[in-house]
A and B are shown apart, each in its own frame.
Chain A
Amino acid sequence: AMTTTLHAFRGCAVRDFSFVAQKPGCKSLRISTEACWGRCHTWEKPMLEPPYVHRHHRVCTYSRSRPMTARLPGCLPHVSPLYHYPLALSCHCAACSTADTECETS
């Protein structure tokens, strides 16, 4: 039932996310957190004047987040074991901001 729900889901929501935190000089650690996932309303429409395509491209991204800190195991003496990452409190469809986000698209 959950798969069906996600299959048809439209919008942008907080979703469980787990990743492996890695940095040089420490052992890695699997972290379970919350991130953003969804399907945003996007479109491209031909128009008469340049640039000839009217575009509305939005992506599902963090709207509010909380900074989190994990402690990585097995770090070398001179390496800080602290690993910082954001936890999503809420998500929204918005333009990807290169100020605080690595915007990857294919």
Chain B
Amino acid sequence: HEGLAPGCHLYPFNVTIRSDRRSTCRGTHLVYACVGYCESSAFPSRYSVLVASNFTHNITSASRCCTISKEAKVKVRLDCPRGRHHDEIEILTARACRCDMCRKSRY
């Protein structure tokens, strides 16, 4: 990621999917994440914010984070050895990125 300019950009990575069925079927596909550096700042809160928070929020954070603004589904074909059949699984990929709302991370 070190070569990235500020901003929020598409970033390719390979996804490998293995099927439950004896884990013998597998497929790999190139999909995109959004990765980048968006502006944020923190500064003393205005008096109205202090009053509204009962003087607990003495810092205000104004932030943007790198988000997926457009996504698409792609089909990944799982190939099985010896078997003639194959499965298809749909996964998400990013199509466009934007510095936008920060959300609570789940991880």
> Contact residue range for chain B?
35 or more
Within 8 A of A (CB), among B42-94: 42-47, 49, 53, 56-68, 71, 91-94
Distance in angstroms from A52 CB to nearest chain B CB is 6
Known: A36-B43, A102-B45. 19 other contacts (CB 8 A): A9-B6, A10-B37, A36-B41, A39-B6, A40-B37, A40-B38, A40-B40, A42-B35, A42-B65, A45-B35, A48-B15, A48-B91, A59-B40, A60-B42, A86-B58, A100-B59, A102-B53, A102-B57, A105-B102
- B21 on interface, CB distance cutoff 8 Å: no
From DSSP, what is the main secondary structure of chain A's interface residues?
A: strand
With both beta carbons as reference points, the residue of chain A lying nearest to B45 in the complex is identified as A102
Determine whether the beta carbon of B92 is less than 8 Å from that of A57.
Answer: no
Size of interface on A: residues with Cβ below 8 Å to B: 56
Determine whether the beta carbon of B71 is less than 8 Å from that of A46.
Answer: yes
Give the number of A-B contacts (CB < 8 Å).
166
Determine whether the beta carbon of B33 is less than 8 Å from that of A43.
Answer: yes
A-chain residues with CB within 8 Å of residue B105 when the two chains form the complex = 55-57, 95
Please list 10 pairs of residues, one from A and one from B, whose beta carbons are closer than 8 Å in the complex, sorted by A's number: A8-B6, A39-B38, A39-B39, A42-B8, A45-B35, A46-B31, A59-B42, A61-B61, A98-B57, A105-B101
B-chain residues with CB within 8 Å of residue A104 when the two chains form the complex = 60-63
A-chain residues with CB within 8 Å of residue B63 when the two chains form the complex = 59-60, 96, 103-105
B-chain residues with CB within 8 Å of residue A19 when the two chains form the complex = 43-44
Determine whether the beta carbon of B42 is less than 8 Å from that of A36.
Answer: yes
B5-36 vs A, Cβ < 8 Å mask (1 yes, 0 no)? 11010010101010000000000000111111
Distance in angstroms from A4 CB to nearest chain B CB is 12
A43 to B97, CA, bound (A): 10
- Contact A100-B56, Cβ < 8 Å, known A39-B40, A59-B40: yes
With both beta carbons as reference points, the residue of chain B lying nearest to A10 in the complex is identified as B37
Determine whether the beta carbon of B37 is less than 8 Å from that of A41.
Answer: yes
